[in-house]
Amino acid sequence: MTTEKKGDWILMRRYEMGRLLGQGTFAKVYFARSLTTGQSVAIKVIEKEKVLRVGMIEQIKREISVMRLVRHPNVVQLYEVMASKTKIYFAMEYVRGGELFNKIARGRLKEDAARRYFQQIISAVDFCHSRGVYHRDLKPENLLLDENGDLKITDFGLSALVDNRRQDGLLHTTCGTPAYVAPEVINKRGYDGPKADIWSCGIILFVLLAGFLPFHDSNLMVMYRKMSKADFRCPNWFPPDARKLIVRLLDPNPNTRITIPKLVESPWFKKGLKPVEANDDPAGVVDAAFSMKPTSLNAFDIISLSKGFDLSGLFEGCGKRGIAAEARFTTQKPAAAIVSRLEEIAQTGSFRVSKKDGKVKLEGRKEGRKGLLAIDAEIFEVTPSFHFVEVKKSAGDTLEFQQFCDKGLKPSLQDIVWAWQQGGDVEQQNFAGASASSPPIAANSR
């Protein structure tokens, strides 16, 4: 899986690993560089044995699901997930500027700088909420700055999805950092994810402008009582409009606490606001200069799809009711024919299409339950006349993806598919000896 090279090491023949950037209880983060593009990335290395021992599998799965859902300029991007027998690897966006916490540690920020960072935080948090994602651990240590001074939210390890709510529509897991957690989270009677995140944003804004916390005490119970009573004072250098906004953000009653739609209309927040939009790759821009070429599968790639190495069950396999978030099929048709058929399906289903690096990307035009449905189809060449295709949901609702597969994808591809495999494991022998005259037999859909 890895080989040594001049003191550094090569990961999965994809990344040249470099210096250690930081480490925690279960993971280390390294600087790395892509061997194909030269792009700088951060690689998070997680010890699989430790994760299994402490029962963190669901947390890892949730973190991956969340980071695939939230593609926003002010959120650290997850590029890919890899694994060996002993480790899990996240390849993520490398953010050069360090933590916002280090900037605040030197003293309070000027009003305009504080406002700019806060606007970017709210833009990212609002986008997360629109995708049914609640961070639950917003604090300056989880806010990074890039080389342009723009803010990026990171560490979704404690985040929750809308599906994590109980029948009462509330979340019940007590988590977060004490000084930034909302009073209703501590009370253990259930809480609304977006409202709890807004409280944390209020604490961050106060810290940006003041240089210290609004609620602080060496005795946690005393600090929590202050939070529940909104027992804090704004310094006299706070502008009046900022003071009014913070009072509404740090309202201990979640039912009367300001919401993001009301927040973004406040005079202090709107000053100098530059709207941020999530990245979009419209159809036609890439297509004009794009020549579709399938990715080649070598022996290592084929083995990695076998039962012993398949990570789909750990990372992106099924939802709470066993709903698959990916589908695979084998075919003897050439890549051009596969791409052409996917484009036809996209037009019928009102999807926008783009093609890049051996992938066909489909993005829905209508908002679904969790935003726009986005689908990636990647074509792998096993032999010149035999291809393996992997179709994955990259954003949106898993149930809507499943409906797309059942009602659109499968019926439209039935004449070119050799065998479907969805939600199951692909055995190594299925690929052994693949040839033009004898394609391998894949597991049937369960």
| Binding-site positions for ATP | 44
Our answer to whether residue 310 is catalytic in this structure is no
Q: Radius of gyration over alpha carbons of the chain, in Å?
A: 24
Q: How far apart are CA 320 and CA 125, in angstroms?
A: 25
Q: Tell me which of 137, 192, 251, 397 is the catalytic residue.
A: 137
- With a CB cutoff of 8 Å and minimum separation 6, the contacts of 379 are 292, 294, 295, 335, 338, 339, 358, 359, 360, 387, 388, 389
Exposed/middle/buried for 82, CB within 10 Å: 0-12, 13-18, 19+? middle
With vertex at residue 250, the alpha carbon angle to CA 244 and CA 252, rounded to the nearest 5 degrees, is 130
The DSSP symbol for 96 reads: T
Which of 278, 216, 236 has the alpha carbon at shortest distance from 71? Answer: 278
Whole-angstrom CA distances from 349 to 328, 342, 353, 386, 404 are 20, 10, 11, 27, 8
Count CB atoms within 10 A of the CB of residue 96. Answer: 11
- Amino acid in the structure at residue 222: V
Range list of β-strands (E), 24-106: 27-34, 40-47, 78-83, 87-93
Contact by Cβ (8 Å): 245, 263? yes
**Catalytic residue numbers?**
137
